[in-house]
Amino acid sequence: MFGRLPLVEQLDGLRSVLSRNEVLADVMTRAATLELPGWYVTAGCLFQTVWNVVTGRPPTNGIKDYDVFYFDGTDLSWEAEDAVIKAGKEVFAGLPAEVEIRNEARVHLWYEQKFGVPCPPHESTEAAIDSFAATTCCLGVRLDPDGGWRVYAPHGLSDVFNLVVRPNPVLAPREVYEAKAARWRDEWPELTVLPWPG
């Protein structure tokens, strides 16, 4: 479909495909009103929307939640992040989906306890997106103030459109990648899941 097109056409394709998910479009529009520093809508809600459209499923099929990442290194307290989460609950009220907001400047404070490996402090939202367990997940989109789309895709878009799940062994442990890949393959059996490097 779009996976073998030049990158500029892939970007047009991405916008066209993501726009079919009305919940995602609403999340992006509402997220912009929060004016969070360095924010992106990211992760599963993006690549899973693409997988759904490419395989002829409803655009929202199998999407558990919508992740909004931002980066505020000026206050690493849980209270500051919680205030943003509470503001988000009001902004996203009434949506038929759960929206999770996280300050990526704080990830290193809890990551090891949750995943068993230490996480060096991220320097930006983009750095956090770079560390996802699969390169296919490394994707972020936001609305700029002029209404244009800002897309962050450090590994390109071909794997996303071609239904390829590729490991990204920079932070998350192998078992996290394999568990996620297995869950995705149950929902989208068309996926090609590449093995963790030996």
User: Percent of the chain, pLDDT > 70?
Assistant: 96
Residue 185 has pLDDT above 70, yes or no: yes
Question: Cα(50)–Cα(60) distance, rounded to whole angstroms?
Answer: 10
Write down the domain spans for the chain: 7-193
Question: Cα(171)–Cα(176) distance, rounded to whole angstroms?
Answer: 10
Residue 146's pLDDT band (cuts 50, 70, 90): confident
Segment 3-45, tens digit of pLDDT: 566 667 788 889 999 999 999 999 999 999 999 999 999 999 9
Dihedral angle over CA of 168, 130, 28, 148, nearest 10: -120
Q: Are 194 and 165 in contact (CB under 8 A)?
A: yes
Mean predicted confidence (pLDDT) in 83-105: 97
Q: What is the pLDDT of residue 10?
A: 80
Q: What is the pLDDT of residue 147?
A: 82
Residue 154: Cβ within 10 Å count: 14
Q: Which residues pair with 165 in a beta bridge?
A: 193
Segment 56-65, tens digit of pLDDT: 999 999 999 9
Q: Bigger pLDDT: 11 or 92? A: 92
Q: Which of 8-12, 24-28, 49-53, 176-180 has the lowest mean pLDDT?
A: 8-12
Q: Are 27 and 39 in contact (CB under 8 A)?
A: no
Mean predicted confidence (pLDDT) in 181-189: 97
